[in-house]
Amino acid sequence: MATTTSRQHPYIRKRSRLTRSDPVRHVPLVATATTRTRAPLDSSELNRLRKWARGRGHPYYLWPDVPIPAWRAALEGIASAVAGWLSRGPPVALTLSRGVDARALGIAAFTSGLGPLLGYWLETGDLIANDDIRMVLARHLRAARDRWSRTEQLAAQALAALAETGISPLVVKGGHTALAHFPNPAARPMTDLDIVVEGESFARGGAVLEALGFEPIERRRDPLKVSLTPPGERLGPVSLELTHADNPWAIELHASLARSFFRVRTIDLGPPRVARARRFGVEVRVLEEPWLTAHLALHASEELHRLPMLRLLELALVMRAGCQSGLDWDELGSLLARNGAERFAFPAFELAERLAPGLIEPGFRERLTRAAPARMRRVVGGLGPASAQRLASVSVAEKLMWARGPWELTRRVSDLFWPTGAHSSPGALPAILAQRAWRLLRGGLRLSPSRE
């Protein structure tokens, strides 16, 4: 799959210069009613929480009433239950350490992305827990079902509109795995729908979605993608406690499968082998193995510093299904090797193996370990499925671990001082650098790895 540069796509620069070679019929989105069990998070309260978090050097941990050690201990309890479910099968018990209450569990269930699935397991008898835990997880599942109803409606309208204009998108990540690899699609929460539209169809696909009422809110050039939200969508969360139906939702429109690793290297696995499948009532394309496993692993590795446990479980479920249908480990290894992706996929595969020991073929695992730089092996060696998500601190060693050799190290350091996300908004750079300096002073950015 060829990656097209942003210069070839007027859509990525200015909406008024859209290329619309085919007529696009305007189909307004249907408003979706959602169930609100509590008042939305007030913007002033959200700003207060963000200010509190920034002041303590951990801008991503926003729960003052839940001590970070209690949150971490709750994540460990969740990881133990998930690992038991994968290795021994159900039923498994979810228990909490002394001093860790249901409130901490609820936040851990939210940040891990596993609250809905744990609630579903409780409902089906796969999970055993006390009444306090059951109440918390039942609430997560109810919210996730409302969320899925909204996702299903928005995704169906968007994909149908693309199909009407002859565009056959490639649906990746949760839009595919929720329906193909989870016991219930609501159990796999989604913040967005990721679709790939290659070549000249990329600009036309954006035009179709805009005619439907979606609004572009973010554009990136390397790799080329645009994020679009439904009309009237909130940009801030309704809830920081569960995956609320009205928390922000978007379509991520990608021009390729490429993923950029912090200016060190851009990895593109295309052209992939694909299959036809019905997703949200529309015939689309989905990745076949080994591209499916490779793409999920690279995505999880790239977001290692904030990696929710859901992504590791998802990768484990996909690999397990692949093994049952004949996943070829040599083919997977060759795919990663010929695209220079082995070391970049190593963190995700290694952590998935720790969640589900014995799942990964030993020779493949050893191949990735040899490809990983020593710094990367040290950082990943200090992490586990529960401790991989570090909302409170991250180390400089981890930020540099992707680089090999002086040139890559120079490129990675340049990204620390001129972050990729600031390219499209130079005015944001001083605030980003000031926040990083403050995090270093407050301990949120550490020189060496730490489990917090």
DSSP E strands: which ranges in 375-417? 394-395
pLDDT at 372 over 50: yes
Considering only 23-27, 355-359, 441-445, which range has the smallest mean pLDDT?
23-27
Q: Could you read off the pLDDT of 188-226 as tens digits, one per residue?
A: 999 999 999 999 999 999 999 999 999 999 999 889 999
Q: Could you read off the pLDDT of 312-336 as tens digits, one per residue?
A: 999 999 999 999 888 999 999 999 9
Considering only 18-27, 220-229, 257-266, 272-281, which range has the smallest mean pLDDT?
18-27
- pLDDT confidence bin for 115, thresholds 50/70/90: very high
Give the burial class of 452: count Cβ atoms within 10 A of its Cβ; 0-12 exposed, 13-18 middle, 19 or more buried: middle
Could you give the 3-state DSSP secondary structure of residue 268? coil
Mean pLDDT, range 72-84, rounded to an integer: 97
Mean pLDDT, range 162-172, rounded to an integer: 97
Cβ atoms 10, 18 nearer than 8 A: yes
Supply the pLDDT for residue 305: 83
Cβ atoms 250, 227 nearer than 8 A: yes
DSSP letter for each residue of 83-129: HHHHHT-S-EE----TT--HHHHHHHHHHHT-HHHHHHHHHHTSEE-
Cβ atoms 287, 255 nearer than 8 A: no
Of all helices (H) and strands (E), which one includes residue 354? helix 342-355
Encoded tokens for 292: 């499916």
Mean pLDDT, range 27-39, rounded to an integer: 44
Considering only 10-19, 154-163, 187-196, 419-428, which range has the smallest mean pLDDT?
10-19
Supply the pLDDT for residue 408: 79
Mean pLDDT, range 359-365, rounded to an integer: 97
Q: How far is CA 126 from CA 61, 101, 107, 130, 300, in A?
A: 30, 22, 21, 14, 26
> Within a 13 Å sphere around the CA of 329, how many CA atoms are in the beta-carbon half?
15
Supply the pLDDT for residue 427: 58
Supply the pLDDT for residue 443: 52
pLDDT at 97 over 60: yes
pLDDT at 135 over 80: yes
- pLDDT confidence bin for 125, thresholds 50/70/90: very high
Q: How far is CA 190 from the centre of its chain?
A: 8
Distance between CA atoms of 276 and 70, rounded to whole angstroms?
45
Of all helices (H) and strands (E), which one includes residue 418? none
Could you give the 3-state DSSP secondary structure of residue 221? strand
Q: How far is CA 353 from the centre of its chain?
A: 19
Average pLDDT, the chain: 86
> Higher confidence at residue 397 or residue 13?
397
Q: Could you read off the pLDDT of 217-250 as tens digits, one per residue?
A: 999 988 999 999 999 998 889 999 999 999 999 9
pLDDT at 436 over 50: yes
Number of H helices, E strands in the chain: 16, 13
Distance between CA atoms of 221 and 182, rounded to whole angstroms?
33
- pLDDT confidence bin for 418, thresholds 50/70/90: low
- pLDDT confidence bin for 403, thresholds 50/70/90: confident
Mean pLDDT, range 277-298, rounded to an integer: 97
Distance between CA atoms of 246 and 262, rounded to whole angstroms?
31
**436: Cβ–Cβ under 8 A, 6 or more apart, which residues?**
416, 445
Mean pLDDT, range 340-364, rounded to an integer: 97
Distance between CA atoms of 262 and 421, rounded to whole angstroms?
10
- pLDDT confidence bin for 20, thresholds 50/70/90: very low
Distance between CA atoms of 313 and 298, rounded to whole angstroms?
14
Supply the pLDDT for residue 393: 67
Supply the pLDDT for residue 409: 76
Considering only 41-50, 210-219, 249-258, which range has the smallest mean pLDDT?
41-50
Cβ atoms 196, 172 nearer than 8 A: yes
Q: How far is CA 40 from the centre of its chain?
A: 24
β-bridge partners, 172: 194
Percent of the chain beyond pLDDT 70? 83
Encoded tokens for 108: 């851990």
Supply the pLDDT for residue 17: 30
Closest CA to 65 of 85, 46, 49: 49
Write down the pTM of the prediction.
0.86
